[in-house]
Amino acid sequence: MTYDTGTRTGIDIDALRARIPALRAGVAHFDGPGGTQTPTPVVEAITHALSNPLSVRGSVAPGEINAETIVRDFRLAMADLLGAETAGIVVGRSATQLTYDFSRVLARGWAPGDEVIVSRLDHDANIRPWVQAAGQAGAVVRWADFDPATGELPVTSIGALLTDRTRLVTVTAASNLIGTRPDVTAIADLVHRAGALLYVDGVHLAAHAFVDVTALGADFFVCSPYKFFGPHHGVLAASPGLLETLRPDKLAPSTDAVPERFELGTLPYEALAGTRAAVDFLADLAPDTPDTPGTAQDRRTRLRSAFAAIEVHETALRERAEEAMSQLDGVTQHSRAALRTPTLLLTFDNHEATDAYHFLARSRIHAPAGSFYALEASRHLGLGTAGGLRVGLSPYNNADDIERLTAALSAFLRS
Ligand SMILES: Cc1ncc(COP(=O)(O)O)c(C=O)c1O
């Protein structure tokens, strides 16, 4: 399946699927927001890292040089993916761990009466660490609410909470529950005018859109490569200058250089090799451009074009899925924001979402049910802790997946 993007050819979805061995098992995967299936080049990069000499980073033995090269190439790749500086790319075990670490180090500069703004649209990973850190510092937490009817988080909902005591605002770049993409650039503008910092959860967005951390105005941007074809770890991007101002706890012999200052212990070299391969895999999705010798495009340019094509494909599939769901009786769709990722949240008039999840699994369709740790958002939508059935689209989903989902859900609703 190929979508034509106008001036160029779109992504060849069949070729993309052929490079992801897990898809051969025949399961229709709608669990991309929980983690994507892994392409062969990523598997091979991990194997390659572990099949060759690999030692603690250094410049003498082959294994040391291999580790050093892997870390350098990883930072270059993530800098290309996010539009960041290599010296501002921090490795973590997960986005949650990085956010906890940064909440503790940032909170050291907070005094009683300072204020922190969190949003109810966010995954708990970008709420609870800040609430707990604020509690320990005696800082006040202010909650920005989204509109449950539209799914929108208006810029004004944050703007109205800013005061001269605001030290930090945290917001998601895209909701992992209902896909809403707030206007982060406009939020950043207000936050910076108030003299505060902005911490952006880009975990869900980075799988679906071309990211430019500078254009977004994110002082901190966290994401997780396992959501965009890579292995399971987290990455944080910030300007090296800002990182220099922060003093995390660290071991005495470990380097104080940025970004290593924030990376506790030995890095997961094989995972970093996998993430570099995932970024290259994404860049390789860039539709073919005219074959002019000597005009090889750089990776960031190819990433921009790849994500433009991914958005065309995912939007077309999302519209198809939403149209199909709207034809089914008794289905409520909660993903309604004007700008959103291809992530549908469904509930059913006379059935539990968790029953749908189990029913679909018996037809080899994986669309899990829950709140997906976006607990505040689920409650604010009136869905309590149960949440709904999440149908998350990824670049490898195709029309056949949507047809299987629609037929199986239709059978479920009749059951
Ligand atoms: C929007 C969002 N933020 C944060 C997280 C947590 O990421 P990690 O598993 O890397 O801690 C997730 C995971 O699903 C997420 O979707």
pTM: 0.96
pLDDT of residue 3 exceeding 50, the answer is no
Closest alpha carbon to 228 in 172, 269, 274? 274
Cα of 95 from ligand 1 centre, angstroms: 6
Topology classification of domain 13-30+300-414: Aspartate Aminotransferase, domain 1 (3.90.1150)
With a 6 Å cutoff on the Cβ, whether 170 touches ligand 1 is: no
Residue 297 pLDDT = 78
State the distance between the two ends of the chain, measured CA to CA, in whole angstroms: 33
| Atom number of ligand 1 nearest to Cα 99 | 11
Cα of 200 from ligand 1 centre, angstroms: 12
Closest alpha carbon to 262 in 87, 58, 59, 67? 87
Residue 9 pLDDT = 54
Tokens of 161: 């909470």
pLDDT of residue 20 exceeding 90, the answer is yes
Closest alpha carbon to 226 in 190, 178, 176, 180? 176
Pairing of strands 331-333, 369-370: unpaired
Domain residue extents for the chain: 13-30+300-414, 95-223
Q: For residue range 194-213, what is the model confidence (pLDDT) as tens digits?
A: 999 999 999 999 999 999 99
The CB-side HSE value for 313 (13 A sphere, CA atoms) comes to 28
Q: For residue range 159-182, what is the model confidence (pLDDT) as tens digits?
A: 999 999 999 999 999 999 999 999
Residue 8 pLDDT = 45
Range 95-223 classified under CATH 3.40.640.10: yes
Cα of 96 from ligand 1 centre, angstroms: 7
Q: For residue range 98-132, what is the model confidence (pLDDT) as tens digits?
A: 999 999 999 999 999 999 999 999 999 999 999 99
Cα of 117 from ligand 1 centre, angstroms: 19
| Atom number of ligand 1 nearest to Cα 122 | 1
